[in-house]
């Protein structure tokens, strides 16, 4: 793989000379580096403030259980983009994992997204698809008089009716946002999927699976080139080190994947994000939930969901500890400066602020902004990869000619 080193281990050494510097070793940066070395004779140096590559998709193997831990929460690869699927399969085989989610409500476990199984279990019925559809239309129709829902509560009830909304959406969303749904904008849920069959596959994409040897190995393979070097533990905004903003911008092409507002020293204000905290719980059991992800729809459970990592990879059972399992409980909150930003809040004020930063970014000499943080957007992994492939062709490649 690429030559990876830690900044603390190379203090005093001369900096690596490269034709392009990429700030951030997440998927956008790695894909861009791979594309540069595949299509040109240029050299690339990647820096990251963290002590690992992979950004939020980074994973490691837990010694006690043998489970692959997704350090920044569950990462599930799925796409309907043929080009992206062909691209990722160049660097790893993928398992046949299909994501299914269940939720606990009032002491009972239901399948998600809401489907015919959920409906029949919830109403203790045996509705046919047409009967279930009429029921939901009737319950949602009770709120048809609300022409323009003023908050998330009204929007949810208008979409799927009050019983299902209250059971599976209201409190879960309130925990996600740390705000009563009656105080949240209706725009957060423009639609709520309800399936009138027993299909509980969570994603509807053409392709789905997990990297067979783990996320980190997949991404190591992506940058397996002697023309790619990586230095970890590097702060781009520390002007006392050679890979700083002041020393690089304007002298060499830079691909920047950090927070766009931080790049400009928050001069126009801070963009708002949500973050998540994790609490680890270990059980002296082979399998605690029987599924990889269990949501908790009720307000009396403080976390939104629990992730049991073993269950993402049943094909690895022989390499896992049959007497131990590890679960992470996930808590959502508003991010403060210094927290890991996960999901952009995207209020109208945030959108307006980002538009101003985007205008400034376009004027930066030889700098391409990308990734979630660099473009203030929520992306799934396949979307990050697709935007990186497009950015290479339309923005990066012209800088190298």
Where in the sequence numbering do the catalytic residues fall? 191, 195, 274, 305, 330, 378, 380
Strand partners, 201: 100
Residue 108: closest CA among 299, 329, 296: 296
Residue 210: closest CA among 97, 335, 301, 61: 97
Secondary structure (DSSP) of 165-230 = IIIIIIHHHHHHHTS-GGGS-GGG-S-----SSS--BS---SEEE-BTT-HHHHHHHHT--TTEEE
Instruction: Classify burial at 305, counting beta carbons within 10 Å of its beta carbon; exposed 0-12, middle 13-18, buried 19 or more.
Output: buried
DSSP percent split of the chain into helix, strand, coil, nearest 5: 35, 20, 45
Q: Which residues of 37-49 are buried (b: 16+ CB within 10 A; e: fewer)?
A: beebebbbbbbbb
Residue 191: closest CA among 217, 176, 167, 169: 169
User: 327 by DSSP, 3-state: which?
Assistant: strand
Give the helix/strand (H/E) hosting 85.
Answer: helix 82-88
Sign of CA dihedral 221, 223, 224, 229: negative
Angle, alpha carbons 26-334-153 (nearest 5°):
115
């Amino acid at each position: 793989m690429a030559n990876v080193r830690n900044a603390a281990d190379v203090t005093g050494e001369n900096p690596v000379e490269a034709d392009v510097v990429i700030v951030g070793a997440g998927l956008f940066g790695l894909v861009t580096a791979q594309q540069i070395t595949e299509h040109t004779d240029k050299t690339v140096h990647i820096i990251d403030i963290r002590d690992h590559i992979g950004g939020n998709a980074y994973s490691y193997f837990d010694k006690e259980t043998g489970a692959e831990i997704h350090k920044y929460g569950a990462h599930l690869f799925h796409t309907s983009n043929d080009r992206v699927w062909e691209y990722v399969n160049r660097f790893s085989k993928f398992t046949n994992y299909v994501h299914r989610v269940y939720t606990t409500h009032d002491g009972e476990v239901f399948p998600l997204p809401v489907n015919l199984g959920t409906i029949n279990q919830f109403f203790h019925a045996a509705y046919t698809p047409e009967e279930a559809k009429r029921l939901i239309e009737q319950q949602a129709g009770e709120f048809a008089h609300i022409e323009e829902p003023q908050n998330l509560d009204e929007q949810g009830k208008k979409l799927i009716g009050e019983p299902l909304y209250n059971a599976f959406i209201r409190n879960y969303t309130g925990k996600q946002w740390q705000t009563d749904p009656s105080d949240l904008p209706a725009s957060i849920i423009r639609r709520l999927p309800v399936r009138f069959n027993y299909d509980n596959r969570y994603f509807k994409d053409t392709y789905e699976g997990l990297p067979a040897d783990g996320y980190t190995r997949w991404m190591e393979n992506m940058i397996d080139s002697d023309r790619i070097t990586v230095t970890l533990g590097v702060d781009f905004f520390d002007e006392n080190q050679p890979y700083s903003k002041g020393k690089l911008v304007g002298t060499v092409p830079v691909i920047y994947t950090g927070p766009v507002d931080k790049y400009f020293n928050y001069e126009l204000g801070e963009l708002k994000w949500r973050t998540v905290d994790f609490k680890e719980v270990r059980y002296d059991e082979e399998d605690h939930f029987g599924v990889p992800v269990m949501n908790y729809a009720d307000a009396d459970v403080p976390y939104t969901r629990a992730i049991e990592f073993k269950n993402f990879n049943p094909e690895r059972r022989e390499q896992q500890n049959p007497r131990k399992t590890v679960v992470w409980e996930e808590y959502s909150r508003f991010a403060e400066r210094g927290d890991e930003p996960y999901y952009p809040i995207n209020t109208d004020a945030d959108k307006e602020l980002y538009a101003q930063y985007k205008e400034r970014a376009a004027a930066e000499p030889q700098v391409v902004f990308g990734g979630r943080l660099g473009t203030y957007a929520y992306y799934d992994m396949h979307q990050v990869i697709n935007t990186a492939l497009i950015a290479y062709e339309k923005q990066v490649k012209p800088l190298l000619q």
